Amino acid sequence: MLAERYDALLFDLDGVVYTGPDPVPGAVKSITALRELRPVRYVTNNASRTPEQVSDQISALGVPCTSAEVTSSAHAVAELLRTRYPAGTPVLTVGGKGLLTALRERELEPVGTLDEGPAAAVQGFDPEVSWRRLAELAAAVHSGIPWYASNLDLTIPTDRGIMPGNGSLAAAVTNATGRQPESAGKPEPAIFRTALQDTGGSTALVIGDRLDTDILGGNRAGMDTALVLTGVHGLADALYAPEAQRPRYILRSLRDLQEDLDQRIDQAYAGMTVADGALRMQDAASGAGAGADAAPAPGGTPGAVVPGHAREVTAAVGNSAGTTGRAAVAGSSSGTLAGNVTPESATGAPALADSPGLADRPDAAVLTAALRRCWEALDAGVAIDESPLPGSWPR
């Protein structure tokens, strides 16, 4: 299975393990099984809470978790400081209990004023932070000592809506000093490397729902990444993501980590071709092609069946001359495209019907292969019309 290819599994939390107060469907069962196979770490940018507080929340959902399995941005920035400063070094600290605890565990000494001679300053989110604390931090930054941040998330979700995050608080100090802090949290690689180091492994798969934090950070850390479609970003977002934010895998849910995906991805990818502006793969269940004139898989013949797939994928794209096209991933239980593609519109782009919901999506191997082919088209300068994507690419 996919999970067994790696020494460790690094999970984001919100949108992957839970959404608000509730577990993501299937997450409890999947993680419980995966935890028996490989070390698991939960990677979070929340620096205000201790690992014990985070693990208690995860455990309350029914997901087995210990504090040792939680890697926060406080943990990451404290580890970064440990590698640069000797034990006992005073560090001016503006942050919550999670950051204070992480620094002390690494034998660094949090202090509250510039008069105490700090060698560095570090800032983490603290809902109780005051102007005086930010002013003291600004004075320290003005003095020229290095300035670190646990993370630079501009906002955080709360039960009262979106509120300022640590990045917004750090921006206030930047506005006063003209300096920027060095961050250890997502999307920087330090937090992922710290999490992997804690497992004792050498390879990890990063699983997250955000392209700009989880996937970008995992990629920067040199790790494989998987976008799970249970949170913030969906297929349309992944299609148009910059290269640095493209995941290696697309997962419908965490259940897909227990599947053997790589060989099936290769099979699906080999069976997909771009012909007449369409990316198509044949349906193994019915043996039906994407049409009588469908192009064969590379090295194959017309009508050849790609084994292991019971869904047909269609992504209409523009031609190499730059004609605008449309892209979609559509499931077809009948194995035909009759219900999914209509004749070309007046603009020359095929009109696509809405794709099915999560349960009826093509499987993870097909989705991953389809995106890889679409990325190739985009990189080659083929235009893809974004307008139909919110409806035709399930999010």
Q: Is residue 66 part of a domain?
A: no
Q: Is residue 65 in some structural domain?
A: no
Q: Is residue 40 one of the residues assigned to a domain? A: yes
Same domain, 326 and 247: no
Given 135, 158, 183, the domain boundary residue is 183
Domain that holds residue 33: 2-45+187-256
12 catalytic? Reply is: yes
159 counts as catalytic: no
Does residue 29 lie in a domain region?
yes
Give residue 347's pLDDT.
28
* pTM score of the predicted model: 0.77
Of the candidates 261, 262, 235, which has an alpha carbon nearest to the alpha carbon of residue 384?
A: 235
Query: Does residue 250 sit in the same domain as residue 283?
Result: no
Residues 382, 269 within the same domain: yes
3-state helix, strand, coil in the chain (%, to 5): 35, 20, 45
pLDDT band for position 395 (50/70/90)? Answer: very low
Do both 35 and 81 map to the same domain?
no
Total count of domains within the chain: 3
What backbone torsions phi and psi does residue 135 show, to the nearest 5 degrees?
-65, -40
| Residue 119, domain CATH | 3.40.50.1000
Looking at 183, 201, 226, the residue that finishes a domain is 183
Tens of pLDDT, residues 209-253: 999 999 999 999 999 999 999 888 988 899 889 999 999 999 999
The CA–CA distances, whole Å, from 341 to 236, 318, 338, 375, 392 equal: 18, 15, 6, 21, 11
Query: Which tokens sit at 388?
Result: 């139909």
- Structural domain includes residue 60: no
Q: What is the mean pLDDT of the chain?
A: 79
268 and 386 share a domain? yes
Q: What is the pLDDT of residue 232?
A: 86
CB 205 within 8 A of CB 224: yes
Domain end call among 183, 209, 229: 183
Which tokens sit at 316?
A: 């209409």
Among 7-11, 23-27, 128-132, 288-292, the minimum mean pLDDT is found in 288-292
Residue 315 confidence (pLDDT) above 50: no
CB 13 within 8 Å of CB 22: no
Same domain, 252 and 274: no
> Above 60 in pLDDT, residue 18?
yes
Does some domain include residue 171? yes
Could you tell me which residues are beta bridge partners of residue 384? 325
67 located within any domain = no
With cut-offs at 50, 70 and 90, classify the pLDDT of residue 273: low
Residues 151 and 107 in one domain: yes
| pLDDT for res 129 | 95
Q: Helices 73-82 and 190-199 sit at what angle, rounded to 10 degrees?
A: 90
pLDDT tens for each residue of 324-383: 333 443 332 222 222 222 222 222 222 222 233 444 457 899 899 988 988 888 888 776
Q: Which of 7, 14, 260, 262 is catalytic?
A: 14
Inside any domain, residue 251:
yes
